[in-house]
């Protein structure tokens, strides 16, 4: 061997060094992945513990003041004084007892507002106690709407972040109803100073951590950014100005947030977690529910900013890896020496001894010629394996390339189909009149709209003309994409009919829409190959005259006052049926004590129960009889819950729509 050729020991050491360098790349990637996993696990634990700690920090003071406020509102002195506010003896007893409560409140303040006189009393530590009203509440003043809206709420109390302009303070208000013989005679409670509240809860937070508080509707009640706080969201009515959901970029994250909120409220001791894009960065969100306050405590942790792993731990880990690699290198060198170099050295010494004529030495078990033959045999085998492997790899690469192209084409086609369906769903939802109905009907309606697929064949409509309004539901044949396309056609036909005839004659509108559909579908292959009929129900309500006019195509109008259930039947034939249908208006007086319901057959025909039969009209009528006098939001939840309970594990068979409303002539008069 020439002197300038590397020996086997040097070659093995060099090979090990190269192997270590090559191994460091995937090892580094795996280590980084492991580090990210550990940091995420630490982030989850930190977010959960931080949320639990803040929940207790918030619950304790507010729960205590809430309990004191409820005792003050339930005091017999309070009730007796509010019922006879001008009585000097009751006046003195109340303010003497209220002073004791004021000293026990955390903010050493309380308020009392009378629903009978409208007087508002407030006493705090920053001013001398007084027994005269600070001001009188005005039902026509928007700034006093919190008081009158709170009196209308079903809950015995609410907690609200709201600025009081007249008192010049912004507080977390605890508003508790004062009841006497079933009447709501006033509000009592206290307030926590918001600046001190935010300082304790919001401003003293670690880097990368954003704590916030949501009410039961998702409106933000506390946040490091004051511009995002929804002041008065629980008492001023309407839709909250700022919610956490509107800070998230897409509907899927909205749904995940809603599911986490439902999980937290269902199990108050749990802290569900989710990842979401907040402020343009992916953050870990942990939620905790405070049932006493009906608040959600949310902690958003930016894992890229929060200090979850100490740098000393990271450097210690890298040092440990370096030591392990050094030990491996030394161990490999020792193994090569003992396993390979020593036998080869012995073989060389034996060969040298034999060349010098010393034949009495015991040679190694493998002679020099055999090692050479083995080397050459391995070289030939390696060449053959290399050749076969090259051919096989070429074939595998060729087939893999074809498979990858096919997969890419399939994935692109699937994305295009899904994008089309999502876009169709967006368009379909855009035609639904939710905003107009909310502006006109307020809390006196609800809609249960549940397509079987992403898009469906059901839709509902609403038109208003002066004091009259038209409401209706339409159930097109089919569901999914075909049903959704039919809804576009039906919606256009009804729009054309309304534009030409107005909204006061539902039967004429159905007949006109039927004619338009037949003209558009006549002679087309689609009309012969698929079902193009559709059920519909239209009801015109004239609040000024107190009448209701209904016409339907295979859809009935149900109404119930909580005792009886009646139905106004629709025509026997659907729009676009093979045989022409006749539709007639049915006019009735508007019953302000009843709730009216339009329902498609998807709800009535939903299979379920032990035998898998449809829900049916009898069960539906029993259900609305028990719910007719309840608030509309509670009715909606009850109908949806009853449907899910009956359906059980059965699949949803069809698109489902229920439109309910409750109106009277009084509203119209007040509007005038």
Give residue 240's pLDDT band: very low, low, confident or very high (50, 70, 90): very low
CA angle (520, 524, 528) in 5-degree steps: 115
Whether residue 491 is predicted with pLDDT greater than 90 in this model: the reply is: yes
Neighbours of 398 (CB within 10 A): 10
Give residue 508's pLDDT band: very low, low, confident or very high (50, 70, 90): very high
Whether residue 203 is predicted with pLDDT greater than 80 in this model: the reply is: no
Whether residue 356 is predicted with pLDDT greater than 60 in this model: the reply is: yes
DSSP 177-196: EEEETTEEEEEEEEEEEHHH
> Among 94-103, 202-211, 224-233, which stretch is predicted with the lowest mean pLDDT?
224-233
**Interatomic CA distance for residues 144 and 73, integer angstroms:** 20
Whether residue 589 is predicted with pLDDT greater than 80 in this model: the reply is: yes
Give residue 3's pLDDT band: very low, low, confident or very high (50, 70, 90): very low
What pLDDT does residue 2 have? 45
Q: Are 380 and 388 in contact (CB under 8 A)?
A: no
Mean of pLDDT values over 357-384: 52
What pLDDT does residue 366 have? 53
CA distances from 356 to 54, 344, 349 (A): 89, 18, 10
Burial track 82-96 (b if 16+ CB lie within 10 A, e otherwise): bbebeeeebeebbbe
pTM over 0.75: no
Q: Are 206 and 306 in contact (CB under 8 A)?
A: yes
What pLDDT does residue 540 have? 97
208 or 341: which carries more pLDDT confidence? 208
Q: Which two three-digit tokens encode residue 167? A: 């008192």
Task: For residue 173, give the nearest of 87, 62, 79, 64 by alpha carbon.
Answer: 62
CA distances from 317 to 26, 308, 325, 353 (A): 17, 15, 12, 52
What pLDDT does residue 209 have? 86
Give residue 216's pLDDT band: very low, low, confident or very high (50, 70, 90): confident
- Identify the bridge partners of residue 243 per DSSP, sorted by sequence position: 219
What pLDDT does residue 339 have? 67
- Mean pLDDT across the chain: 82
> Among 519-528, 534-543, 549-558, 602-611, which stretch is predicted with the lowest mean pLDDT?
519-528
pLDDT (tens digit per residue) in 270-291: 899 988 888 888 888 899 998 8
Mean of pLDDT values over 111-135: 86
Mean of pLDDT values over 363-384: 50
Q: Which two three-digit tokens encode residue 405? A: 């192209």
Whether residue 4 is predicted with pLDDT greater than 60 in this model: the reply is: no
**Interatomic CA distance for residues 131 and 123, integer angstroms:** 9
What pLDDT does residue 428 have? 80
What pLDDT does residue 500 have? 95
- Per this entry, what is the length of the chain? 672
Give residue 482's pLDDT band: very low, low, confident or very high (50, 70, 90): confident
Whether residue 382 is predicted with pLDDT greater than 50 in this model: the reply is: no
What pLDDT does residue 445 have? 96
CA angle (243, 245, 247) in 5-degree steps: 85
Whether residue 449 is predicted with pLDDT greater than 60 in this model: the reply is: yes
Mean of pLDDT values over 159-170: 59
Whether residue 355 is predicted with pLDDT greater than 80 in this model: the reply is: no
Give residue 411's pLDDT band: very low, low, confident or very high (50, 70, 90): confident
Whether residue 309 is predicted with pLDDT greater than 70 in this model: the reply is: no
Give residue 415's pLDDT band: very low, low, confident or very high (50, 70, 90): confident
Mean of pLDDT values over 98-112: 90
Task: For residue 653, give the nearest of 447, 476, 479, 477 by alpha carbon.
Answer: 479
For 547, the enclosing helix (H) or strand (E) is strand 547-553
Mean of pLDDT values over 320-328: 75
What pLDDT does residue 595 have? 96
Task: For residue 113, give the nearest of 129, 137, 94 by alpha carbon.
Answer: 137
Mean of pLDDT values over 20-32: 69
Strands 273-278 and 557-560, how do they pair?
unpaired
Whether residue 87 is predicted with pLDDT greater than 90 in this model: the reply is: yes
Mean of pLDDT values over 355-378: 53
Give residue 375's pLDDT band: very low, low, confident or very high (50, 70, 90): very low
Q: What domains appear along the chain, each with residue ranges and CATH number?
A: 64-195 (3.30.450.20), 431-671 (3.60.40.10)
Maximum mean pLDDT: which of 132-141, 244-253, 319-328, 657-666: 132-141
Give residue 670's pLDDT band: very low, low, confident or very high (50, 70, 90): very low
Whether residue 493 is predicted with pLDDT greater than 90 in this model: the reply is: yes
382 or 494: which carries more pLDDT confidence? 494
Task: For residue 80, give the nearest of 46, 50, 114, 128 by alpha carbon.
Answer: 114
- Identify the bridge partners of residue 177 per DSSP, sorted by sequence position: 187
> Among 10-24, 115-129, 264-278, 602-616, which stretch is predicted with the lowest mean pLDDT?
10-24
Mean of pLDDT values over 595-604: 96
pLDDT (tens digit per residue) in 183-199: 999 999 998 775 666 66
HEC string of 427-470? Answer: HHHHCCCHHHHHHHHCCCEEEEEECCCCCCCEEEEEEEECCEEE
Q: Are 286 and 298 in contact (CB under 8 A)?
A: yes
Mean of pLDDT values over 233-245: 62
Neighbours of 235 (CB within 10 A): 22
Backbone φ and ψ for 231, nearest 5 degrees, come out as: -65, 130
Q: Are 539 and 523 in contact (CB under 8 A)?
A: no
Mean of pLDDT values over 310-336: 69
> Among 234-243, 402-411, 501-510, 552-561, which stretch is predicted with the lowest mean pLDDT?
234-243
Q: Are 295 and 59 in contact (CB under 8 A)?
A: no
Whether residue 218 is predicted with pLDDT greater than 60 in this model: the reply is: yes
**Coil, strand or helix at 73:** helix
**Interatomic CA distance for residues 273 and 299, integer angstroms:** 9
153 or 372: which carries more pLDDT confidence? 153
Sign of the C-alpha dihedral computed for residues 543, 549, 553 and 556 taken in this order: positive
- Identify the bridge partners of residue 656 per DSSP, sorted by sequence position: 450
Mean of pLDDT values over 4-27: 68
In terms of Cβ atoms closer than 10 Å to its own Cβ (0-12, 13-18, 19+), residue 133 is middle
What pLDDT does residue 305 have? 72
Whether residue 12 is predicted with pLDDT greater than 70 in this model: the reply is: no
Q: Which two three-digit tokens encode residue 646? A: 């009956």
Whether residue 661 is predicted with pLDDT greater than 50 in this model: the reply is: yes
User: What is the percentage of the chain residues whose pLDDT exceeds 90?
Assistant: 39
Whether residue 582 is predicted with pLDDT greater than 80 in this model: the reply is: yes
**Coil, strand or helix at 299:** strand
- Identify the bridge partners of residue 121 per DSSP, sorted by sequence position: 112
Between helix 76-83 and helix 88-104 the angle, nearest 10°, is 140
Q: Are 553 and 576 in contact (CB under 8 A)?
A: no
pLDDT (tens digit per residue) in 624-660: 999 999 999 999 999 999 999 999 999 999 999 999 9
**Interatomic CA distance for residues 400 and 394, integer angstroms:** 10
Q: Which residues contact 511 (CB under 8 A, 6 or more apart)?
A: 583
What pLDDT does residue 559 have? 97
């Amino acid at each position: 061997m020439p002197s300038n050729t590397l020996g086997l020991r040097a070659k093995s050491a060099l090979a090990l060094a190269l192997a270590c360098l090559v191994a460091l790349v995937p090892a580094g990637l795996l280590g980084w992945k492991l580090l990210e996993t550990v940091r995420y696990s630490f982030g989850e634990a930190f977010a959960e513990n931080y949320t639990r700690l803040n929940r207790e920090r918030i619950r304790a003071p507010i729960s205590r003041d809430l309990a004191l406020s409820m005792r003050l509102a339930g005091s017999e002195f309070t009730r007796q004084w509010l019922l006879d506010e001008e009585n000097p003896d009751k006046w003195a007893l109340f303010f003497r007892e209220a002073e004791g409560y004021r000293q026990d409140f955390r903010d050493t303040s309380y308020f009392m507002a009378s629903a009978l006189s409208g007087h508002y009393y407030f006493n705090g530590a920053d001013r001398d106690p007084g027994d005269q009203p600070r001001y009188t509440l005005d039902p026509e003043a928007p700034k006093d709407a919190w008081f009158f809206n709170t009196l209308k709420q079903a809950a015995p109390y609410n907690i609200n972040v709201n600025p009081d302009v007249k008192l010049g303070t912004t507080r977390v208000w605890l508003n508790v109803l004062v009841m006497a013989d079933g009447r709501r005679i006033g509000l009592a409670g206290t307030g926590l100073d918001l600046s001190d509240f935010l300082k304790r809860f919001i401003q003293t937070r670690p880097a990368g951590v954003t704590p916030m508080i949501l009410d039961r509707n998702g409106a933000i009640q506390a946040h490091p950014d004051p511009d995002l706080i929804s002041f008065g969201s629980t008492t001023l009515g309407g839709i909250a100005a700022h919610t956490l959901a509107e800070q998230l970029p897409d509907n899927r994250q909205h749904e995940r947030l809603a599911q986490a909120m439902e999980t937290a409220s269902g199990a108050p001791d749990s802290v569900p977690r989710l990842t979401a894009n907040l402020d343009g960065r992916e953050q870990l969100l942990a939620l905790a529910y405070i049932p006493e306050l009906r608040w959600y405590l949310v902690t958003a942790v930016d894992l890229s900013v929060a200090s979850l792993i100490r740098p000393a731990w990271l450097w210690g880990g890298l040092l440990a890896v370096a030591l392990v690699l050094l030990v491996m290198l030394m161990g490999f060198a020792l193994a090569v020496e003992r396993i390979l170099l020593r036998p080869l050295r012995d073989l060389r010494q034996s060969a040298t001894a034999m060349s010098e004529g010393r034949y009495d030495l015991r040679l190694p078990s493998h002679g020099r010629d055999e090692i050479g033959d083995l080397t050459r045999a391995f070289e030939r085998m390696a060449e053959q394996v290399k050749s076969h492997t090259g051919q096989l790899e070429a074939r595998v690469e060729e087939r893999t390339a074809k498979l990858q192209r096919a997969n890419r084409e399939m994935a692109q086609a699937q994305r295009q189909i899904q994008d089309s369906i999502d876009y169709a769903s967006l368009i379909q939802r855009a035609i639904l009149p939710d905003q107009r109905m909310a502006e006109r009907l307020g809390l006196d309606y609800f809609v249960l709209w549940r397509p079987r697929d992403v898009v469906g064949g059901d839709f509902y409509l609403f038109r208003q003309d002066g004091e009259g309004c038209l409401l209706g539901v339409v159930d097109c044949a089919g569901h999914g994409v075909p049903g959704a396309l039919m809804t576009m056609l039906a919606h256009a036909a009804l729009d054309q009919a309304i534009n030409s005839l107005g909204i006061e004659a539902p039967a004429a509108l159905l007949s006109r829409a039927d004619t338009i559909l037949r003209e558009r579908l006549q002679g087309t292959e689609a009309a012969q190959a698929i079902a193009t009929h559709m059920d519909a129900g239209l009801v015109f309500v004239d609040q000024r005259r107190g009448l209701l006019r209904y016409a339907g195509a295979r859809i009935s109008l149900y109404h119930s006052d909580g005792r009886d259930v009646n139905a106004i039947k629709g025509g026997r034939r659907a729009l676009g049926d093979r045989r022409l249908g006749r539709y007639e208006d049915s006019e009735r007086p508007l019953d302000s004590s009843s709730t009216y319901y339009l329902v498609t057959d998807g709800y009535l025909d939903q299979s379920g129960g032990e035998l898998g039969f449809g829900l049916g009209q009898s069960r539906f009528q029993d259900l609305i009889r028990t719910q007719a006098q309840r608030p509309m939001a509670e009715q909606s939840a009850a109908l949806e819950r009853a449907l899910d309970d009956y359906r059980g594990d059965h699949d949803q068979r069809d698109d489902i729509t229920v439109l309910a409303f409750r109106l009277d002539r009084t509203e119209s008069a007040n509007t005038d």
